[in-house]
Amino acid sequence: MKHPRRLIAGVAALLLAGSAGAAAASWSGDEGDAPGSTAAAVEATPPASELTEAQKKSRQHEVDILLAHRATAVLKGDLKGFLAVVDPKQPALVARQRLLFTNLRKFGFSSLKYFTADSWDVPPLAEKYGPTTYTTRVMMRYQLAGLDPKPVQTDLGYTFVRRANLWVLVEDGAIDETLSNDGHRQPWDFGEVTVVRRGKVVVVVDKTEAALGQKIARVSEGAVDAVRRHWPRPWNGAVLVVAMSEPRVMATLWTAGNGQGWTIAAKAVTLHEGEQVGQESGPVIGSRIVVNPSMRKTLEEDLLVHEMTHVATVPIGAKTPIWLVEGVAEYVRAHSIEDDPEWTVDPYRKTVRTKYLPTLQKLPGPNQFDDDADRAYALSWWVVEYLVGASPYHCRREWVDDVSPAGVRRGARGGFRCGRRGRRSRGDWSIRGRRSSSGEPSSGHGSSPGG
């Protein structure tokens, strides 16, 4: 009798020949096996629950090869190849997978890989599909052309069974609830989309809302220009804006009912290198902007300016205090509004001066943003205005020395401009920051920002 591992490899070779055309299976060395011996091997293979570690590894390897072919099928536009593994007895699943392929083709991947991660025991699925049921988390590692400087990663959950010597995909969402919240519900995972490209901006909307997509792309381009005017560090302006009617796309915030304020009208979802199941296991690579579905049709440019500032300031680093992150976004937003001589944020200034500033005791942290977001955003903005508008002496000494963790020190060096509005010049920020002894940011100063 042959070694089980070799037998399973034989199954994989057959399966590839059957489902993916000219699939290479050089890893197994078993392509030449007679069909008869392979069939016997399938019968001899124990159910999933009794697999040895080596057999599990083989199974994973086989499915990895299938997944690799699916990725190639997406890149090459090969619908037949993509669907080859999908259970033909399930028309709804086939339709979903066909739609997935249609959507994926619209995004323009410069690279795409699928591969298995950890397997999951899901007893109801095993009961439904039999002893060979194999549920696994699948990583999707991809790079959108013109958008992602490096590959980013998301995960999905697939269930396979072995049927007539082939692995067949029978479920595509059975473990969705256990996967990463923000990560795995991607814009291509729901209804058919329209992808609008304008310059470096890419906007995703529902297929039926192409006109809205064009409008948002125009507004987004204006927002990119505004960020570039007021954020002096280099940013290429490449950004993906998702403005779909589907609330589940990369979002848990607005389905959780956390309020209706403009602060959650959109958000920037950070992408980490090697992100898995909510673990931020790698450095930040970039962001997507996701617009609250209920506000997608009334989206204002200044809101996008705020969110795009988050995208542009990603290089500042993950350890930046929230008041600085949000304060800079508000700073850029406010200045972009006042680029138009007909607009002013004077009422905003007045609110800060009269309502919030008198009781300011310390810089807003996450709790303050949760408790009273309006106040926290407004004060953060004020502080950044202060930093930017104050003399270089103030820039260096009174604020930054007290509050900057390492990430800010590195990222913000030269990132702000010191000097008063109207006569702005690049500040010479040699920031040598340290935390105060309590570990908390120092308390606020009451000076008004320039202007």
Binding site for Zn ion (CB under 5 A): 326, 329
Closest distance between Zn ion and the C-beta of residue 304, in Å?
11
CA distance 69 to 320: 41
Given the complex with Zn ion, which of 326 and 385 has the nearer CB atom?
Answer: 326
Angle between helices 322-338 and 373-389 (to 10 degrees): 80
CA distance 271 to 293: 21
Burial of 393 (0-12, 13-18, 19+ CB in 10 A): exposed
Given the complex with Zn ion, which of 120 and 262 has the nearer CB atom?
Answer: 262
CA distance 215 to 323: 31
CA distance 445 to 394: 11
Given the complex with Zn ion, which of 196 and 304 has the nearer CB atom?
Answer: 304
Closest distance between Zn ion and the C-beta of residue 258, in Å?
14
Given the complex with Zn ion, which of 332 and 390 has the nearer CB atom?
Answer: 332
Phi and psi angles of residue 329, each rounded to the nearest 5 degrees, phi first: -65, -40
Could you tell me the strand order of the sheet in which 239-242 lies? 193-198, 201-206, 239-242, 284-291, 266-272
CA distance 191 to 199: 25
CA distance 408 to 369: 20
Closest distance between Zn ion and the C-beta of residue 374, in Å?
13
Given the complex with Zn ion, which of 209 and 326 has the nearer CB atom?
Answer: 326
Closest distance between Zn ion and the C-beta of residue 384, in Å?
12
CB–CB of 153/276 below 8 Å? Answer: yes
Given the complex with Zn ion, which of 158 and 369 has the nearer CB atom?
Answer: 369
Chain centre distance of CA 3: 43
Closest distance between Zn ion and the C-beta of residue 318, in Å?
15
CA distance 436 to 451: 30
Looking up tokens 């055309």 gives: 21
Given the complex with Zn ion, which of 48 and 373 has the nearer CB atom?
Answer: 373
Closest distance between Zn ion and the C-beta of residue 113, in Å?
32
Query: Who contacts 361 (Cβ-Cβ below 8 Å, separation ≥6)?
Result: 443, 444
Residue nearest to Zn ion (CB): 329
Given the complex with Zn ion, which of 109 and 331 has the nearer CB atom?
Answer: 331
DSSP annotation string for 82-120: HHTTB-TT-HHHHHHHHHHHHHHHHH-EEEEEEEEEEEE
CA distance 19 to 168: 10
Closest distance between Zn ion and the C-beta of residue 3, in Å?
58
Closest distance between Zn ion and the C-beta of residue 203, in Å?
19
C-alpha dist (Å) from residue 132 to 10, 47, 98, 260: 17, 5, 25, 47
Closest distance between Zn ion and the C-beta of residue 268, in Å?
7
Given the complex with Zn ion, which of 7 and 325 has the nearer CB atom?
Answer: 325
Q: How many residues does the chain have?
A: 451
Given the complex with Zn ion, which of 216 and 329 has the nearer CB atom?
Answer: 329
Closest distance between Zn ion and the C-beta of residue 291, in Å?
13
CB–CB of 409/426 below 8 Å? Answer: no
User: Nearest to residue 216, comparing CAs of 231, 195, 235?
Assistant: 195
Closest distance between Zn ion and the C-beta of residue 377, in Å?
8
Given the complex with Zn ion, which of 58 and 320 has the nearer CB atom?
Answer: 320
**Residue 351 corresponds to which tokens in the numbers above?**
């609110």
